[in-house]
Structure 1
Amino acid sequence: MDLISDLPDAVIHNIFSFLPLEDVVKTSVLSKRWRSTWTTTPYLVFDEKIAQRVEKIAKRVGRDTFPSFVDSILRRCTSPALKRFHVADLWSDLWLEPWLSFAEERRVEDFRLSYYLMPFFGLPRSLYRLSWVVSLQVSSCRLSLGADGTISWPRLKVLSVKDAMLSDHVLEGILSGSPLLESLELCECRGINSIIIDAKSVKELVLIGVTFFNVENIQAPHLLSLRVSGTWYPYSKFRLGDISSLVKAQLYFSFETDDKKILGDFVEELFEKLCGVRTIIINDWCLQVLSLLEMEGVQFPFLKCQNLILHAAVSQWDLPGIAYMLRSSQCLEKLYILQTGNCYLKLKLDKESEKRFNFDEEDFLWSRKGNFQCLAKHLKRVKITGLEAQSFRLKYLLALIKFILGETLVLEKMIINGRKHLQASELLGVHQNICSYQRACRSAEVNLEGFFC
């Protein structure tokens, strides 16, 4: 008895949404019941893998290129509304106009379009009139305004623009023509100098910079979440303006310069803008710049951070930066350290600066004992993941754990996860050390998860 065939169409469509389109089409050979079922799917995803396979077959048999393959599927599609319509690896826009008409007729909600090897195609004007689109992603193209000088995406909530030409004027038109926009991602977008977001609906901004991204001014007074990643350069002049409502900042980027003054000024100015943010997530590069500032005695303004997430190796290059953040975050309640494998020095230091990092880890932390107000009054939860029993940098992590347990007066729970596939014998010594550490708060619970299976 075929129980799957008796499922409602909505359930079958949901199953289709998790399958590659090729597998969805192959269901037509299962039985008469399934012969045309695939044509009703509202999920049409022509991704890079499909495009490459179709083009490989086309070269072998001399027919059916990728665009004609897409056309053949669209002609058979009977779904009155599309949840998802993605087209990747498009190398010309000759077929795009009828596809956009198809997308608008079928009220597409999630539309993605990316070109292959031919960047900065001018997008058809009809793209700027997709009245049903909720999520839109375009890449390797050039954005402009519609035929009447405006853009109209009345239902758009999520917009991602990657590797594209985009001016301040066009960005302004996008924001004014998308009254419901909540999330904006700009990745390697050339031509933008200022990002001015006055709309109260936009809550998330993602900026990914590599080489050409040159943003001199960011004004977004109603923004709640900011994520900055990629590689930035001194000439990018990346500066934050009014982000007064921000509650979450994710800093996953690096800055391509060895000039200590440029690094220090950049990070100092950045954290001045983040002083009121409640959740801060930073990577190992940023942490090492903070380590450099800590070792050179640079003072930062205090942060109101309550949740701190650190992606770091916890080596000699990271420990001072962690101390810096603990000292600056006087209201800190939750600390999460995700150990990474990048334990090497990411900055180029002169000999004098590098000598400062030759310290005893326990002496270093105890020498700053009186500066950690968060440990005395606020820090309640600590989670550390990725502990390695045989790592040479383990001593720095253990010194940090010992210090936190010995100084945190209101600690409720500390969770420590070992890396997967480690034997109990490897972690036994670590387990014994941690359990022997004195605790300032006797009721503090220490859970060693993944240590013993």
Structure 2
Amino acid sequence: MATHSVHLKSSGDCPNRAQGNRHPPPLSPGDLISALPDAVIHHIFSFLPLKDVVKTSVLSKRWRCTWTSTTHLAFNGVRPRNHDASSFDFPSVIDSVLRQCTSPTVKKFHVTDLQYHEADRPKVDRWLHFAAGRRVEDLCLSLITKMWSMYILPPSLYCWSGLVRLEVSLCSFSLDLTISWPCLKVLSMEYAELSDDFLGRILKGSPVLESLELRQCWRMTNIIIDSTSVKNLLLIGANNCHLEKIWAPHLLSLHVSGMWHHRIFRLDDISSLVKADLVFSIRTFSLRDKGMCYDLLKEFFEKVQGVPIITIGGWCLKVLSLFEMKGVPSPLSKCQNLTLHTPVTQRDLPGIAYMLGSSEFLEKLIIHLNGLHVYKCMLDKEWKDHFNYDEEDFLCTRKGNFQCLAKHLKRVEIIGFKTNSFGSKHLLLLIKFLLGDTLALEKMIIKADLHSRNGQKNHQAAVLSKLLGVSRNVLTYRRASKNAKVIFDYPFKLLSL
């Protein structure tokens, strides 16, 4: 989002451009930019940060006040580098722009990273009143404040009939009000107190809602989604979230991430799911809690065994490694597209093996090497007890369990291959194994992330030299498929081997 480095002056004698798409004034020869229709200009504005929209006033006389009729207003409270805190008055910037706005309708109105204090309430009320009057369809209000001084959303918001997308963060809802959002398709709530009843009224009052995002919200215990329109659900855990159950038989996509304390919820009915992202962690402090969480994770995988697109990472993959080393049976999965977030270490290989063994119909495997943060204290003791094995033989001794290698796996992508990956023993072992035992493999694409230090050519050349060395090594690996190609994709050019 854009930052705003200047206070905007009064519009003065700028003509009112709210009279529709009026014809441009007579042009001087060659002044093509002034010939653009208003509709085209506004379309251009929709792709620009607001501060750049304002800068277009210098392009020509006709453009001097054109910015005042823009239909996309996005304000970001991050202080510009050339301003000190005392001179940057973000609310005044917003007030100045809104005073000069001449468009009768505004499609997009975003205010993000606003340092909110209770004294700012009248201003925020006034901004939302402006947005309602201009029939805003895309509204975002993301604040920075304390939990005990959150902005209380006005009653008018709950019956905003034209809203299509709503995103709020650190705002307080009145849980006893009725919701009427007949056009709302996307709803994102972050750091909000919700209740089962209020969430039910949201779903009832939003008949065309397609996507629901609950980011670190609390007080809910059950998420019951009987709406046939809601297809996507995103959940990010919170310290004080006590969610117990999800029932959503028409849901197509489920994303669960973040830190969940002591426990995770149960999946009751997700029978229509086609995409599941399980990249969460559970922080436990006792053996009893840990055992219960492991049991719930097993239930999770039993529930998603019919899902064709699965993403796994962080704590979940580490626990799957434990399952593999303990001999816990893996439920057969119909997964065809598997994404793993893992740095591929000794403690990750068993989890990768666990998923390969359960995914008989796997066609595409993606490995993001950036991985996800895991609190080591939760698993360290068990790792020490179970992870003493010979990496060289580990995958080979289990390849008979990997039916996908013999039948379906055609494409492997390894993303985020950095300089510290060049000498990774476990990653190179995995690459060698996949090339040597995947009979139907067509492409292995290794996408390198080779950012040079401030553009230093010497460093870039050294990195490329190391990459070429790795590529020559990989080129010598045996390939079970005669059609397999290894492609190193990196920022400088494409190297195909």
TM-score in same-fold range (> 0.5)? yes
Structure 1: distance between partners of 2:125 and 2:395? 63
Structure 2: distance between partners of 1:264 and 1:392? 34
Check conservation: 1:145, 1:173, Cα contact below 8 A.
Answer: no
Check conservation: 2:422, 2:466, Cα contact below 8 A.
Answer: no
Give the gaps of 5 or more residues in structure 1. Answer: 59-64
Q: How far off its partner does 1:122 sit?
A: 2.5
SS at structure 1 position matched to 2:357: helix
Q: How far off its partner does 1:50 sit?
A: 6.6
How is 1:325-364 mapped onto 2 (pairs within 5 angstroms)? 325-340=355-370, 346=376, 348-349=378-379, 353-364=383-394
Q: 2:443 — aligned with what?
A: 413
Q: How far off its partner does 1:35 sit?
A: 2.9
Give the gaps of 5 or more residues in structure 2. Answer: 1-29, 451-459
Q: 2:13 — aligned with what?
A: none
Check conservation: 1:315, 1:393, Cα contact below 8 A.
Answer: no
Q: Using a 3 Å threshold, how does the CA distance of structure 1 residues 342 and 176 change in structure 2: closer, same or farther? A: closer
Check conservation: 1:194, 1:218, Cα contact below 8 A.
Answer: yes
Q: Which of 12, 16, 36 is equivalent to 2:41? A: 12
Q: Which residue identity lines up with residue 100 of structure 1 in the other structure?
A: L
Q: How far off its partner does 1:386 sit?
A: 2.8
Q: Using a 3 Å threshold, how does the CA distance of structure 1 residues 291 and 118 change in structure 2: closer, same or farther? A: closer
Cα shift readout 1:219-247 (whole Å, capped 9, x = no counterpart): 11111111111111115x42222111111
1:81 and 2:99 aligned: no
Check conservation: 2:310, 2:338, Cα contact below 8 A.
Answer: yes
1:241 and 2:268 aligned: yes
SS at structure 2 position matched to 1:252: strand
Structure 2: distance between partners of 1:118 and 1:12? 40
Q: 1:111 — aligned with what?
A: 139
Check conservation: 1:375, 1:407, Cα contact below 8 A.
Answer: yes
Q: Which residue identity lines up with residue 329 of structure 1 in the other structure?
A: S
SS at structure 1 position matched to 2:214: strand
Q: Which residue identity lines up with residue 224 of structure 1 in the other structure?
A: L
Q: Which of 387, 393, 397 is equivalent to 2:417? A: 387
Q: Which residue identity lines up with residue 377 of structure 1 in the other structure?
A: K
Q: Using a 3 Å threshold, how does the CA distance of structure 1 residues 85 and 37 change in structure 2: closer, same or farther? A: same
How is 1:20-59 mapped onto 2 (pairs within 5 angstroms)? 20-28=49-57, 31-49=60-78, 56-57=86-87
Structure 2: distance between partners of 1:365 and 1:244? 33
Q: 2:194 — aligned with what?
A: 166
Q: Which residue identity lines up with residue 80 of structure 1 in the other structure?
A: P
Q: 1:449 — aligned with what?
A: 489
Q: How far off its partner does 1:213 sit?
A: 2.1
Query: What count of residue pairs does the alignment treat as equivalent?
Result: 444
Q: How far off its partner does 1:363 sit?
A: 0.3
Check conservation: 2:262, 2:283, Cα contact below 8 A.
Answer: yes
TM-score (norm 1): 0.89
Q: Which residue identity lines up with residue 427 of structure 1 in the other structure?
A: L
Structure 1: distance between partners of 2:214 and 2:65? 40
Q: 1:225 — aligned with what?
A: 253
SS at structure 1 position matched to 2:198: helix
Larger CA deviation: 86-95 vs 338-347:
338-347
Q: Which residue identity lines up with residue 442 of structure 1 in the other structure?
A: K
Structure 1: distance between partners of 2:489 and 2:107? 41
SS at structure 1 position matched to 2:376: coil
Q: 2:351 — aligned with what?
A: 321
Q: Which residue identity lines up with residue 322 of structure 1 in the other structure?
A: I
Structure 2: distance between partners of 1:257 and 1:440? 43
SS at structure 2 position matched to 1:94: helix
1:290 and 2:320 aligned: yes
Q: How far off its partner does 1:265 sit?
A: 1.6
Residue identity over aligned pairs, in percent, reads 56
Structure 2: distance between partners of 1:48 and 1:37? 24
Q: How far off its partner does 1:44 sit?
A: 1.4
Structure 2: distance between partners of 1:305 and 1:3? 54
Q: How far off its partner does 1:69 sit?
A: 4.3
Q: 1:61 — aligned with what?
A: none
Structure 2: distance between partners of 1:207 and 1:342? 17
Q: How far off its partner does 1:75 sit?
A: 2.8
Q: How far off its partner does 1:198 sit?
A: 0.6
Check conservation: 2:280, 2:314, Cα contact below 8 A.
Answer: no
Check conservation: 2:422, 2:467, Cα contact below 8 A.
Answer: no
Check conservation: 1:128, 1:145, Cα contact below 8 A.
Answer: no
Q: Which residue identity lines up with residue 358 of structure 2 in the other structure?
A: S
SS at structure 2 position matched to 1:5: helix
1:257 and 2:271 aligned: no
Check conservation: 1:423, 1:452, Cα contact below 8 A.
Answer: no
Structure 2: distance between partners of 1:372 and 1:131? 53
Q: How far off its partner does 1:70 sit?
A: 3.0
Structure 1: distance between partners of 2:246 and 2:279? 18
Q: How far off its partner does 1:85 sit?
A: 0.7
**RMSD over equivalenced CA pairs, Å:** 2.7
Check conservation: 2:56, 2:67, Cα contact below 8 A.
Answer: yes
Check conservation: 2:283, 2:378, Cα contact below 8 A.
Answer: no
Q: Using a 3 Å threshold, how does the CA distance of structure 1 residues 150 and 355 change in structure 2: closer, same or farther? A: closer
Q: Which residue identity lines up with residue 56 of structure 1 in the other structure?
A: S
Q: 1:184 — aligned with what?
A: 212
Structure 1: distance between partners of 2:258 and 2:373? 19
Q: 2:22 — aligned with what?
A: none
Check conservation: 2:278, 2:316, Cα contact below 8 A.
Answer: yes
SS at structure 2 position matched to 1:400: helix
Structure 1: distance between partners of 2:413 and 2:268? 33
Check conservation: 1:158, 1:182, Cα contact below 8 A.
Answer: yes
Structure 1: distance between partners of 2:52 and 2:444? 46
Structure 1: distance between partners of 2:420 and 2:140? 45
Cα shift readout 1:97-138 (whole Å, capped 9, x = no counterpart): 443333233221111123332543321110011111111011
Structure 2: distance between partners of 1:168 and 1:352? 37
Structure 1: distance between partners of 2:439 and 2:56? 61
TM-score (norm 2): 0.82
Cα shift readout 1:71-116 (whole Å, capped 9, x = no counterpart): 3322321112211111232433323444333323322111112333
Q: 1:94 — aligned with what?
A: 122
Structure 2: distance between partners of 1:411 and 1:51? 50
Q: Which residue identity lines up with residue 63 of structure 2 in the other structure?
A: W
Q: Which residue identity lines up with residue 404 of structure 2 in the other structure?
A: C
Q: Which residue identity lines up with residue 212 of structure 1 in the other structure?
A: N
Q: Using a 3 Å threshold, how does the CA distance of structure 1 residues 26 and 444 change in structure 2: closer, same or farther? A: closer
